[in-house]
Structure 1
Amino acid sequence: MSRSRTCYDWSKLCHDLLRSILERLHYKDYHRARTVCSNWYTVSTTCKRPLYPWRVVFNENSALLFDPGEEQTHEIQHPGAEFSERYVLSSCSNWFLMVDSGLGFYLVNVFTRERIDLPSMESSILGKERVDKEVEWKHYIERTDLVSSKKQACLWINERTGDYVVAWSVKQHYLFTYKRGDDSWSNLQGAKCVSMVFDKEYKLYVYTADNSIKIFDLSGDLPEEIVEMNPYRNHLFSFRSVSKRGEHIWKQRVAVTNSGEVLMIVSLKGLGDKLLFYIYKMNLGSCKWERVDSLGGEMLIFSHGVTVRAPIKDINGLGIKGDSICLRDGDLWPVGFYFDIMQLEPNCGVFDLATSAITRPKSLDVSFVKSFWFVPGYALRRLVSHLV
């Protein structure tokens, strides 16, 4: 007598049971499991797993991930990927926005190794015509500079639906956006980008070279600048107007908190050789920029303008807690900074806003390479309702 066989639809497991299983998985397995189907992803968003920044370094064709919570390092192979710090533009949750040496843009999931190729940017920037040798040489120089020169980028992706939005700028002359389903990149002309960030309402905030903050709505077929409803339009942020004598600016970043507050974060050299970060918020009543002392208990990844709800207590003495800033190479004023040059990874740390102290990370036992911060599992979920 044959034994009957029952087929189970694992995507329809009881939510309580599935949640219990997901919460017990190792972090790497957890992030792979949440991509199995939409139901598993939805349940994963209710799991009680803390959000906090991880560090990642790229070593040839692999990614080395350090989990501060468990103080463990995980290596994930990415065969064929062009992994190097100069090709990393931004991150969102488990995804990285990358550009290769041939101006090929793509997204890669650091845990599952899934890759999404984006349309080529080359024709958009360089043009398709080659008039003569002089023009061809000029275009060649521009092309080779695009990967190595100063650039800004931000990314949002919904791991459940696969929708994503990308913004990328180089040399403050070009600012392009692309979202899933578009035919090509959109060029936001006239927005000379210094830094930018997405918020939870499908808007792109761009801090420009003329000290203004522009807002673009990306929910439609084409990006549209918000003018009348932009409270920052006629109220420029100029550090000179709020700084003290002896303070010299190094970098500026626009950031948006989980509650929707727009901040300007300034990296500067303070009095003496003290390294500092200042935070400014516009008083919507007086329309003046005012300095504030905290991030409201959140953490900031300075290079991305992303804030997350951080643990109240420090994680394993690594400085990862609320009201702190994750920094990397180039975020700090260089004077006096290179005394650490002989140590591994002097370019990465956590700045405590309350004490102005910097906690240096532990070595990942690799050759001297640049490391980056990202937040596994983090996403601006309210953007989902605006996707088309």
Structure 2
Amino acid sequence: MKLSSSLSSALSGSPWLMLSPEEGGCMLYNPKEGNIERDLLEDFPGCRVLANSGNWCLVLDSGSNLFIVDVFSKETIHLPSLESIRSTTCPIKRVGDVVRGLLWVDKGGKDYVVVWFFDREYNHDCLSFCKKGDTHYTDIPLFDRDAHWYRGLSEMVLRGYTLYITTSRRFVRVLDLSGGHEQGYSSFKETTRPFPMLSCYESCDSSIAVTTSGEVLLVESDPWNRTWFRVYKKDPDIEDPDSSCHTVLEVDSLGGEALLLDLGFTVPADDALGIEPDSIYFTRHYRPSQWKGRDLDICVYNLATKSFKRFSDLDVMNLMDARWFLSED
């Protein structure tokens, strides 16, 4: 089923919302008009959206099977079984809805990268990925015997073939996933030495984001009354960041771009499309790997005016999750 031409035109490049009610399904919501346009997963009962990239969604079904679907054309790409991972660090079995993931699909839908991991309460020790042409998932180790600050997983951002991982100690690893295939597995490599993104406010909730130029940002929010965001970039003047207690500089602008915190990256602002400059679009104040218990708060925050735009009409809905959505068409 294709979108009507009027809805496709309205969606193109504009920020909409994907809403996941607790009773199931996934709805497309127009924040400008304040109405729901359609159920995106009406042909996939019992499925849950883990991530999205443009019109494509990474979906988990009731049998813990993963696939990618274009929510408008319904084109479907089936992915390798979760048990196909080759790992020396953790055994794999079907785990239901504790699986979380990230997705990138190129604009033509010809190539893709899928990253998934287990969301455990105390330990995040299983991270894997696959690309088009893979028959198995490739394990990404999350430990380093010689450098404990590189261990663990707090958060991830996937931008094309580049995966950004925040470790438990707030160091950022940058991985290139574009390597070739061997016996159904893909290779990867670290592109730079892990670097810390540390502010002087350790009690804040924090996320990372990546700009259109590839710069990594630290985004912090108030964990108590949710009244502000702070955005930082790396401090280039620190000679030995590994030994510093804070390694970032606060900025008061996103350079005219807008940040989609759910996706972890910035996009160019566009008044015609309703993408506001120097604004943070979010549904939770941060999205680390362990998000259970964090309430939804669907808003746009303007860095210049320090003000929130909330969508109060969604408060009455029984939502399990939500995410900002940009269509490609």
Residue of structure 2 equivalent to 1:262: 216
CA deviation map 1:38-83 (0-9, x unaligned): xxxxxxxxxxx5x232112245565421234565531146223324
Matched, 1:28 2:8: yes
- The one-letter code sitting in structure 1 at the alignment partner of 2:318 is F
- When residues 364 and 267 of structure 1 are mapped into structure 2, their CA distance, relative to the original with a 3 A threshold, is closer
Contact kept in structure 2, 1:329 and 1:370, CA below 8 Å: no
CA deviation map 1:355-379 (0-9, x unaligned): 3322111536974224523333359
Residue of structure 1 equivalent to 2:127: 175
CA–CA separation in structure 1 for the residues paired with 2:85 and 2:137 = 8
Structure 2 alignment gaps of length 5 or more: 144-151, 181-185, 240-246, 288-292
- When residues 234 and 25 of structure 1 are mapped into structure 2, their CA distance, relative to the original with a 3 A threshold, is closer
Cα shift at 1:346 = 6.0
Matched, 1:115 2:70: no
Alignment of 1:83-122 (within 5 A): 83=47, 87-122=48-83
Matched, 1:324 2:268: no
Contact kept in structure 2, 1:152 and 1:194, CA below 8 Å: no
CA–CA separation in structure 1 for the residues paired with 2:328 and 2:210 = 14
CA–CA separation in structure 2 for the residues paired with 1:175 and 1:54 = 29
CA deviation map 1:194-230 (0-9, x unaligned): 1112235x22111111321111111112332225xx2
Alignment of 1:285-300 (within 5 A): 285-286=237-238, 288-300=247-259
Cα shift at 1:164 = 0.6
SS in 2 for 1:147: helix
CA deviation map 1:312-336 (0-9, x unaligned): 4894xxxx5121112224649xxxx
Cα shift at 1:156 = 0.8
Cα shift at 1:113 = 2.3
Contact kept in structure 1, 2:52 and 2:102, CA below 8 Å: yes
Matched, 1:56 2:18: yes
- Aligned mate of 1:226, from 190, 194, 199: 190
Q: TM-score, normalised by structure 2?
A: 0.75
- Aligned mate of 2:313, from 347, 363, 368: 363
CA–CA separation in structure 2 for the residues paired with 1:311 and 1:364 = 25
Matched, 1:248 2:203: yes
Alignment of 1:189-228 (within 5 A): 189-190=141-142, 192-200=152-160, 202-221=161-180, 222-226=186-190
- When residues 293 and 117 of structure 1 are mapped into structure 2, their CA distance, relative to the original with a 3 A threshold, is same
CA deviation map 1:243-297 (0-9, x unaligned): 2xxx7222x2221111221112222337xx4532221111334364211112222
CA–CA separation in structure 2 for the residues paired with 1:310 and 1:371 = 25
The structure carrying a bigger strand percent of its residues is 2
Residue of structure 2 equivalent to 1:307: 266
Give structure 1 regions of 4+ aligned residues with deviation exceeding 6 angstroms: none
CA–CA separation in structure 2 for the residues paired with 1:143 and 1:211 = 30
Matched, 1:79 2:43: yes
Contact kept in structure 2, 1:254 and 1:264, CA below 8 Å: yes
Structure 1 alignment gaps of length 5 or more: 1-21, 32-48, 128-138, 333-337, 339-344, 380-388
RMSD: 3.5
CA–CA separation in structure 1 for the residues paired with 2:296 and 2:197 = 31
- Aligned mate of 2:29, from 48, 60, 66: 66
**Over alpha carbons, which structure has the higher Rg?**
1
- The one-letter code sitting in structure 2 at the alignment partner of 1:79 is D
The structure carrying a bigger helix percent of its residues is 1
CA–CA separation in structure 1 for the residues paired with 2:111 and 2:194 = 33
Q: TM-score, normalised by structure 1?
A: 0.65
Cα shift at 1:105 = 1.0
Cα shift at 1:165 = 0.4
Q: How many residues align?
A: 294
Contact kept in structure 2, 1:61 and 1:79, CA below 8 Å: no
CA deviation map 1:3-57 (0-9, x unaligned): xxxxxxxxxxxxxxxxxxx9x93133788xxxxxxxxxxxxxxxxx5x2321122
- When residues 292 and 153 of structure 1 are mapped into structure 2, their CA distance, relative to the original with a 3 A threshold, is farther
Residue of structure 2 equivalent to 1:276: 228
Identity value in percent: 29
- The one-letter code sitting in structure 2 at the alignment partner of 1:311 is D
- Aligned mate of 2:299, from 349, 358, 363: 349
CA–CA separation in structure 1 for the residues paired with 2:72 and 2:221 = 32
Between 305-314 and 276-285, the greater mean CA deviation after superposition: 305-314
CA–CA separation in structure 2 for the residues paired with 1:365 and 1:112 = 30
- When residues 206 and 198 of structure 1 are mapped into structure 2, their CA distance, relative to the original with a 3 A threshold, is same
CA–CA separation in structure 2 for the residues paired with 1:158 and 1:353 = 30
CA–CA separation in structure 1 for the residues paired with 2:197 and 2:86 = 29
